[in-house]
Amino acid sequence: MENCSPSVMKRLSKEVRDLVQQPPEGIRVHFDDAKLTDIHAVIDGPVDTPYCGGRFHIRLVMGHSFPQEPPKGYFLTKIFHPNIATPSGEICVNTIKRDWTPDTGLRHLLLVIKCLLIVPNAESALNQEAGRLLLEDYAEYFSRARLFTEVHALQNPAVAAGFEPMEAGDNAVLRDANDNAIASVAASSTAAGTSGLAKRPLAQPAGPAAKKSKKALKRL
């Protein structure tokens, strides 16, 4: 644990407990009393973004200068985003420092990070490729970011894609931002007799779309 003063530790304890009892919408905080300067949280991917339906695990690390300096932030879940470094997951310092004051608090910082999933900032890019695509080819950026979300962050691909729970024998097809079929999702009965989901990849589309999909997958 960093060498924080008793008053800072008391503040952190209160802040974290308040976040657990009254979490911001779409954010859940996890902590260990013995490691209050190392906070973990899960952020739900916002709707109308390529991160929708994903659950993104992040980490906030308070240094000895906290709260004069903001915590360092990291995405533990792999993500394709201009302001998230690859492969470290470090969140852009400029984003975290923006509007930070010693009185700001962790709640505000978590909301800033969630907003970053809604409005990326190409001008402070740590992932240069994501920043370039965001400015030059948004459709490709969306498709790539969505692919990362589906591979690394989706808990239930069918529900996250907007499908209702399925009965055994039903089938559905997941599609990307360009309405290309990504996978077939079939319901199957479990040993207990309840419905389950099985995901089967579809044949890759022919032509340039197939090449793009394969090229993107190699980067995952």
Q: Alpha-carbon distance 158 to 150, whole Å?
A: 10
Q: Alpha-carbon distance 89 to 73, whole Å?
A: 8
4 is catalytic: no
Q: Alpha-carbon distance 59 to 38, whole Å?
A: 7
The full set of domains in the chain, from first to last, is 6-154 (3.10.110.10)
Are 36 and 20 spatial neighbours (Cβ–Cβ below 8 Å)? no
183-189 LR contacts (CB < 8 Å, sep 24+): 183/157, 185/157, 185/158
Q: What is the pLDDT along the chain (220 residues), one digit of tens a residue?
A: 456 788 889 999 999 999 999 999 999 999 888 888 999 999 999 999 999 999 999 999 999 889 999 999 999 999 999 999 999 999 998 888 877 888 889 999 999 999 999 999 998 999 999 999 999 999 999 999 999 999 999 975 544 444 333 333 444 344 444 444 444 433 333 333 333 333 333 333 334 433 444 444 445 5
Are 58 and 24 spatial neighbours (Cβ–Cβ below 8 Å)? no
- Which is catalytic among the residues 4, 52, 92, 115? 92
